[in-house]
Amino acid sequence: MAFYKPLTRVTMKVTIRDIARKAGVAPSTVSAVLNGKAKESRISEQLADRIRLIASDMDYQPNYTAVSLRTGKTRVLGLIVEDISNVFFATLAKIIEEEADRVGYKVLYCSTENNEAKARERIRIFNQRQVDGFLITPTAGMRPFISDLLKQQKPVVLMDRYFPELDAPHVLVDNYNGARLAMDHLLEKGYRNIGFVTISLDQVQMHQRRQAWERSLAEFGVPAAPHQVLELCYHSRPQDSIEQIKAFISSTQLDAVFFATNYIGVYGLQALKQLEISIPQQLAVVCFDDHDIFGLFSPGITIVEQPVQQIAHTAMQLLMRQFEGSPMMIKELQVLKSGRLIVRAST
């Protein structure tokens, strides 16, 4: 009896030459486009787009190992954020990925959840993957790891927060002046007993937002009482945080409350709903950073909007300048973007 092996489909690996043949151009032209060098090679955007489309249709998969061996670059970036499920960080990641695609880079990203062990492991993995550069929203415990990256002369940009003692390029919103916008708005509306709900993390942006709360009250001649501040544990369960906010609101004579982050603000709205407190008739509400819920909630919640598009774009520019070896001035290392107060019905 004869036995026959079943026929198997052999998938041929698509090469740059295959794409060039189909596009009717030289392989060097395809290589320039796929390596993000179309502009410097004076290739028209129309032709570059056509080549990218053909490469996508043919399911071209670059050999990153070969590229790395040939150029010393992987054209991959490592993006480390606090929590990719948070609206701010998710939006930041999406914009960075779009910016990276535009210049021929891919992005690997992950969350630390403000966990030092996770942060250390993420950096180790990205180093093993030989990413060309790091975009990081650092946790307090990441200081020594980022210091090591800088000593190794790895391209690094910090976003949303930074370490004052490290000369690492960073870009973030002006947290102090953004929080001042919110506080001055409340005080000008006549509110005086303003609570502040924050997270008990040693992070520069949280310190600056609290400083703005204290300074604004002082300038209006209102004492900043310690009992008007609630610090939540970052790793608490959402329901536990909601219960703490309920207890804080119930035991403190407040006419307004300032939530220091968007997810705390979401917890706060749930707490106020459970307490059946009407906004703003019984309590005015303002939050640092926006969330989809704040615009849909009735009444809409007044917020300080972070310029996430500008932050992401500037972070990529700072990283690209390091790739090019361009020197950066001190003012370029420390880029502050202005926040914007969006007034809604909650105040």
In the chain, CATH 3.40.50.2300 covers 74-172+308-335, 175-306
| pTM (global) more than 0.85 | no
Q: Could you tell me the sign of the dihedral formed by the alpha carbons of 103, 107, 111, 114, in that order? A: negative
- Distance separating the N- and C-terminal Cα atoms of the chain: 87
What is the C-alpha separation between 160 and 136, in angstroms, rounded? 9
- Per this entry, what is the length of the chain? 347
What was the pLDDT predicted at 63? 66
Q: How does 87-115 read in b/e, with b if 16+ C-beta sit within 10 Å? A: bbbebbbebbbebbeebebebebbbbebb
Neighbours of 242 (CB within 10 A): 21
- Residue of 169, 18, 160 lying closest to 81 (CA atoms): 160
Contacts of 192 (CB under 8 A, 6+ apart): 220, 222, 255
Residue whose tokens read 């004492």 = 223
Give average pLDDT by consecutive 10-residue segment, the chain, 347 residues: 47 83 92 81 90 88 59 85 92 94 90 90 91 94 92 95 93 97 98 97 94 97 94 96 98 97 97 98 98 95 97 95 80 88 98
What was the pLDDT predicted at 35? 76
Q: Could you tell me the sign of the dihedral formed by the alpha carbons of 304, 305, 308, 310, in that order? A: negative
State phi, psi for 194 to the nearest 5 degrees: -105, 115
In the chain, CATH 1.10.260 covers 16-62
Architecture in CATH for domain 74-172+308-335: 3-Layer(aba) Sandwich (3.40)
Beta bridge partners of 108: 78
- Residue of 286, 116, 273, 260 lying closest to 188 (CA atoms): 286
Is residue 183 within 8 A of residue 212, CB to CB? The reply is: yes
Q: What dotted CATH number matches 16-62?
A: 1.10.260
* H or E element, residue 209: helix 204-219
| Annotation: CATH topology of 175-306 | Rossmann fold (3.40.50)
Q: Is 288 helix (H, G, I), strand (E, B) or coil?
A: strand
Contacts of 87 (CB under 8 A, 6+ apart): 262, 290, 291, 292
